[in-house]
Amino acid sequence: MRLDAALAVDSLADVPAAAAAAEAIGFDAVWSSETQHDPFLPLALVAVHSTRLKLGTAIAVAFARSPTAVAHAARDLAAASGGRFLLGLGTQVRPHIERRFGMPWPAAPAKVIREYILALRAIWHTWQTGEPLAFRGDTYRLTLMSPFFNPGPIEHPDIPIYLAAVNPGMVRLAGEVADGVHAHPLHSAEYLRQVVRPALRDAAERAGRDPRQISLSVSVFTASDEAEAEFVRSQIAFYASTPSYRLVPEMHGWAERAERLGALARRGRWSEMAEVVDDDMLRTYAVVAAPEDLGAALRQRYAGLADRLTLYLPFRPGDRDRFWQRLVRDLAG
């Protein structure tokens, strides 16, 4: 398993030092998220301030952008990094698309994100080969790419696309058309083993693809002390309250708890939600271990299930560097 880092910076000015530190510690990749900052901008600096480190979005919200805009950003990051860029995309959920981004929510999001991925590859193919752009889908019709707007070929044109997935339908779509899956931190080992891996394998085989070539990247809740445990409880409570993720708690018999969390969230009673997450629920969705035992605990839980691990704990250079170095060594061993 490769250990990746969740990039956490307050300013673009902090990115060069973070990239250098992440590479020195031995992370395989850094992922930039679309939360408080743009997911692409920091990665331009990572690309030019590192030599080995992979860099990717986990995730960029697809429905907030046109495929052409994303194709340009991904192409330029792949060129600047010498082929180290990984494009992670997600649909987000309807309230965020409509009320945070002011964009329309598609009636069939899985169908549209599939078309989105195919459109990206069509655009990259046109830039690489010079052939006319002729993508005609139900949502996206892309037929204009004059030479003035064509940036031309690059040395590493095969940009891996990772798709964020929780429920089996989106996992199957990733198995059909993507190069990797970003598994949500609200998961259990049983959910990965019984739901995600079989759906990914079956869809890939039906599409004539080798499932072993599709990477499973997993974001992991961890807790090494009581303060971290309380934070993780609040995050589990927040995610479990989301109707789109309901299948995950239902699998473990916690449908009633998920309903209760949803009701608390709708009333804005955020401070009460963590109390619903007991120790059993915490240890099901999080790896709870002392820092010196965390590597072994992660290996025990995810061996044979995950290809890449990213701790939900953000990486900041100079903060717990020895902890990260030991974790990289433990997982590599």
The dihedrals phi and psi of 29, each to the nearest 5 degrees, come to: -155, 160
Under the banding of pLDDT at 50, 70 and 90, the label for residue 244 is confident
Tell me the mean pLDDT in the region 73-92.
98
> Residues with Cβ < 8 Å from 3, sequence gap 6 or more?
26, 27, 28, 308, 309, 310, 327, 328, 331, 332
Write the pLDDT tens digit of every residue in 264-306. 999 999 999 999 999 999 999 999 999 999 999 999 999 999 9
Write the pLDDT tens digit of every residue in 28-55. 999 999 999 999 999 999 999 999 999 9
Q: If DSSP states are collapsed to H, E and C, what string results for 294-311?
A: HHHHHHHHHCCCCCEEEE
* pLDDT of residue 251 exceeding 90: yes
134: Cα separation from own chain's centroid: 30
Find out if CATH 3.20.20.30 is the number for domain 2-222+289-332: yes
Q: Which amino acid belongs to residue 150?
A: N
Q: Whole-model pTM?
A: 0.95
All structural domains of the chain with their residue ranges: 2-222+289-332
What is residue 1's predicted lDDT score, i.e. its pLDDT?
A: 83
Write the pLDDT tens digit of every residue in 151-175. 999 999 999 999 999 999 999 999 9
CA distance 64 to 44: 20
What is residue 172's predicted lDDT score, i.e. its pLDDT?
A: 97
What is residue 332's predicted lDDT score, i.e. its pLDDT?
A: 85
Write the pLDDT tens digit of every residue in 125-139. 999 999 999 999 999
Q: How far is CA 51 from CA 4, 20, 47, 77, 310, in A?
A: 15, 9, 8, 13, 20
What is residue 319's predicted lDDT score, i.e. its pLDDT?
A: 80
Of all residues in the chain, the percent with pLDDT exceeding 90 is 95
Under the banding of pLDDT at 50, 70 and 90, the label for residue 318 is confident
Please list the residues that pair with 86 across neighbouring strands.
Answer: 56
* pLDDT of residue 17 exceeding 80: yes
Tell me the mean pLDDT in the region 66-80.
98
CA distance 188 to 203: 21
Q: What is the mean pLDDT of the chain?
A: 96
Residue with tokens 């990289």: 328
